[in-house]
């Protein structure tokens, strides 16, 4: 099995190397990752400047590609020919910090796995839910290796990826694995306004306080309970309940002769 590894924490992130080492038990691992931290870049892509992919040496002595592009760019570059071997699995991570609930909308890690799914390759994103610099990646890396092996037998349907979060707990405190749906997590948004030395205003987007809605069956609840969370995520963002309801609103009866 040929595995592409990328991330949004950058090519030299410890989580990337931990993931690569663990996945080498399952196959040949290729690394194409952003040359700098790109967390919360979402699914942005680079269209208006040249993309680079420079060979770099990782701390294990292996060769990888560092790109000035986003995580999504890295997946596109790799699958469109930078890696000459056909890729069977895309794994993004290990992200340092959770990707739960509404985080998925902002996450470069999850977007990289989405790009893999868009390109028809089985993909998952994996995160450890603490952003301490001394976080232990071992349990998360081991689970990634196990899941990668499983995905050789159980194939994900088209347009579907997995989003995995592993609680940042000692191994003997991780209670098990739950299959979950995307829950609700938001940050109490605030803006801090300051003045620069020339008296011009600048702003910091805050949002440190996390508000989780701890509904049963969700990713946020599984992590709160000490479980590994595995969510199937679909690329189709349509809300089918609302779609059905909207037929009674009469939108489709709009008379296009009124467009003038
Ligand atoms: Mn990140």
Predicted confidence at residue 207, as pLDDT, reads 66
What is the domain partition of the chain in residue ranges?
A: 2-183+215-237
* CB-based burial label for 51 (10 Å; 0-12, 13-18, 19+): middle
Q: Find the 171 Cα to ligand 1 centroid distance in Å.
A: 22
Q: Find the 38 Cα to ligand 1 centroid distance in Å.
A: 7
Q: Find the 259 Cα to ligand 1 centroid distance in Å.
A: 45
User: Could you give the CA distance from residue 246 to residue 166 in angstroms, rounded to a whole number?
Assistant: 39
Q: Find the 92 Cα to ligand 1 centroid distance in Å.
A: 10
Q: Find the 41 Cα to ligand 1 centroid distance in Å.
A: 9
Q: Find the 150 Cα to ligand 1 centroid distance in Å.
A: 25
208's tokens: 């440190």
What is the third-level CATH fold of 2-183+215-237? Stationary-phase Survival Protein Sure Homolog; Chain: A, (3.40.1210)
> Which residue shows structure tokens 């997590």?
185
The 3-state secondary structure of 146-167 reads HHHHHCCCCCCCCCEEEEEEEC
User: Could you give the CA distance from residue 92 to residue 75 in angstroms, rounded to a whole number?
Assistant: 9
As residues whose CB is below 5 A from the ion ligand 1, the structure lists: 8-9, 39, 95
Q: Find the 96 Cα to ligand 1 centroid distance in Å.
A: 6
pTM of the model: 0.95
Comparing C-alpha atoms, which of 98, 172, 175 is closest to residue 135?
98
For residue 240, cis peptide bond before it (omega within 30 degrees of 0): no
Q: Could you tell me the CA-to-CA distances from 221 to 65, 101, 178 in Å, in that order? A: 37, 10, 10
Predicted confidence at residue 105, as pLDDT, reads 93
Consecutive 10-residue runs of the chain (260 residues): their mean pLDDT? 98 98 96 96 95 97 97 98 97 97 95 98 97 94 98 96 97 98 87 94 83 93 98 97 95 94
């Amino acid at each position: 099995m040929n595995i592409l590894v990328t991330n949004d924490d950058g090519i030299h992130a410890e989580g990337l190397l931990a993931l690569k080492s663990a996945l080498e038990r399952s196959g040949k691992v290729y690394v194409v990752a952003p040359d700098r931290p790109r967390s919360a870049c979402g699914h942005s892509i680079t269209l208006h400047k040249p993309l680079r992919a420079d060979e770099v040496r990782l701390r294990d002595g292996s060769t990888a590609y560092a790109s000035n592009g986003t995580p999504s760019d890295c997946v596109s570059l790799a699958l469109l020919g930078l890696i000459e071997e056909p890729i069977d699995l895309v794994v993004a991570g290990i992200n340092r910090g959770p990707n739960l609930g509404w985080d998925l909308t902002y996450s470069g890690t999850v977007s990289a796995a989405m790009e893999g799914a868009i390109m028809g390759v089985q993909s998952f994103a994996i995160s450890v839910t603490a952003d301490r610099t001394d976080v232990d990646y071992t349990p998360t890396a081991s689970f990634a290796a196990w899941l990668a092996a499983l995905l050789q037998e159980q194939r994900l349907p088209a347009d579907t990826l997995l989003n995995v979060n592993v609680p940042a707990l000692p191994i003997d405190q991780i209670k098990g694995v739950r299959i979950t749906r995307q829950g609700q997590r938001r940050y109490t948004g605030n803006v801090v306004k300051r003045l620069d030395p020339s008296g011009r205003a600048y702003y910091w987007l805050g949002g440190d306080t996390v508000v989780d809605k701890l509904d049963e069956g969700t990713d946020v609840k599984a992590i709160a309970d000490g479980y590994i969370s595995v969510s199937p995520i679909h690329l189709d963002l349509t809300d089918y309940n609302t779609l059905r309801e909207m037929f009674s609103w009469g939108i489709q009866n709009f008379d296009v002769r009124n467009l003038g």
